[in-house]
Amino acid sequence: MIKILFLDQSGQPAGAELCLLDIAKAYRDQCLVGLFADGLFRQLLEENQIPVQVLATQAIAVHKGSGWLQGLSSLRQLLPLAIRVAQLSHHYDVIYANTQKAMVIGTLASILSRRPLVYHLHDILSADHFSSTNRWLAVTLANHYASLVITVSQATQAAFIAAGGRPELSEVVYNGFDPQVYHCDRTQVDTLKQQLGLTGRFVIGHFSRLSPWKGQHILLEALESCSEEVTVLLVGDALFGEQEYVQSLQTQVIERGLQNRVQFLGFRSDIVPLMHVCDLITHTSIAPEPFGRVIVEAMLCGRPVIATQAGGALELSNAGIPYWLVPPGNPTDLAIAINQCQAEWAQVSAIAQQAQLEVSRRFHIDTIRQQIAQLLHRFEPVIDASKTRSTKPVSAS
């Protein structure tokens, strides 16, 4: 059985980490997840009996927009971490980097320990998301040192190749989900709806971390053109220091007089009942979404979804899964789509049920785990039969 050293820079459970959690569950007896920061993600791994170690005590001072100088100055911090990871990796068959900083450390460790390196790429390597230095670094390290790049969508793969990534390295594997998890008892939903003071309201949910590119401000702007009975639930928090954006959303709500129609629920672990409380779920990213777990999760909950027409979201509709797409960054079109959904409710509900069936089949966690296992198979240690001692009983004759 293959032994895997997973690496992730984050202590917070964003989509890339939740995807890793689902994959690591299948390897819990033969893996370690090394994190470069402590937080709720570590707790989640522990609750799921997945071995985890926090390997860095200080946050790495490089971010998606960093240039060369900042990158070089962080080397003093990166090297000891890489040496630690290299030492650990001697006990594993493969190093599996789940984020970009993990890829940098994973590369150094892979060079030192001569263990193969896999890069699970959850990001679209475009100017919308990364500085040119960061794009160059990700692609150059992948091209020279990775044995496999798993991309979370065709859009992610296309961006990797457009940025100079070697096409033959990359394989698309979508995120996987257990459809059972997304069912919910009606009484629990009614109670929660009542507790939130939403009985009788038409509830629109938004379930992303609060970050400018996730476009929560677009939904708030669209809300002004929706009927008075509409309430918006913003579920999620600023996971990576976007406090200014949170402040700007709160100001937007006050200035537009939307206080009675918007609730900020912060980061929640009870996503499933909350999605069931919603009549409609919107995804409003203004930059192409690499995959967009929330879109599939909303569909698994049987909710109608309106998403922005870019990145991974487009692949669902190209695959024939029915839902509504609007142009990114356009509150007018979003409001029109919301109002239409509200007006044509019977038809909208039927379409949501059809989407639920489709996604349950296409994104089933078992299928995705099988795909990952097949891709990792090549890194399994080869057992040399001539060196293994025979266990055949010796005949007494």
The two three-digit tokens of residue 337, written as one number? 């789509």
Task: Based on the shown chain and the rule CB under 6 A, indicate whether residue 22 belongs to the binding site for ligand GLC.
Answer: no
Distance between CA 331 and CA 349 in Å, rounded?
23
Task: Based on the shown chain and the rule CB under 6 A, indicate whether residue 64 belongs to the binding site for ligand UDP.
Answer: no
For residue 5, the Cα-to-chain-centroid distance in whole angstroms is 19
236 touches, from ligand GLC, ligand UDP, none (C-beta below 5 to 8 Å by class): ligand UDP
Burial of 13 (0-12, 13-18, 19+ CB in 10 A): buried
| Rounded least distance, CB 172 to ligand UDP, Å | 15
Task: Based on the shown chain and the rule CB under 6 A, indicate whether residue 293 belongs to the binding site for ligand UDP.
Answer: yes
Binders in 271-310 for ligand GLC, by CB under 6 A: 289-293
Sequential DSSP letters for 212-229 = GGG-HHHHHHHHTTS-TT
CB 20 within 8 A of CB 52: no
195-201 contacts: CB < 8 A, separation 24 or more? 196/233, 196/263, 196/277, 198/231, 198/233, 198/277, 200/229, 201/229, 201/230, 201/231
116 touches, from ligand GLC, ligand UDP, none (C-beta below 5 to 8 Å by class): none
Residue window 100-139: x/- pattern of binding to ligand GLC, with contact defined by CB under 6 A: ----------------------x-----------------
Task: Based on the shown chain and the rule CB under 6 A, indicate whether residue 236 belongs to the binding site for ligand UDP.
Answer: yes
Distance between CA 195 and CA 46 in Å, rounded?
30
How many residues are there in the chain?
Answer: 397
Task: Based on the shown chain and the rule CB under 6 A, indicate whether residue 19 belongs to the binding site for ligand GLC.
Answer: yes
152 touches, from ligand UDP, ligand GLC, none (C-beta below 5 to 8 Å by class): ligand GLC
Run of H or E residues at 308 = strand 305-308
Closer residue to ligand GLC, CB minimum distance, 242 or 279:
242
155 touches, from ligand UDP, ligand GLC, none (C-beta below 5 to 8 Å by class): none
CB 7 within 8 A of CB 32: no
Residue window 198-227: x/- pattern of binding to ligand GLC, with contact defined by CB under 6 A: ------------------------------
207 touches, from ligand UDP, ligand GLC, none (C-beta below 5 to 8 Å by class): ligand UDP
Site of interaction with ligand GLC (CB under 6 A) = 14-16, 19, 122, 152, 175, 289-293
For binding to ligand UDP (CB under 6 A), which residues are involved?
Answer: 14-16, 18, 207-209, 235-236, 267-268, 271, 291-294, 297
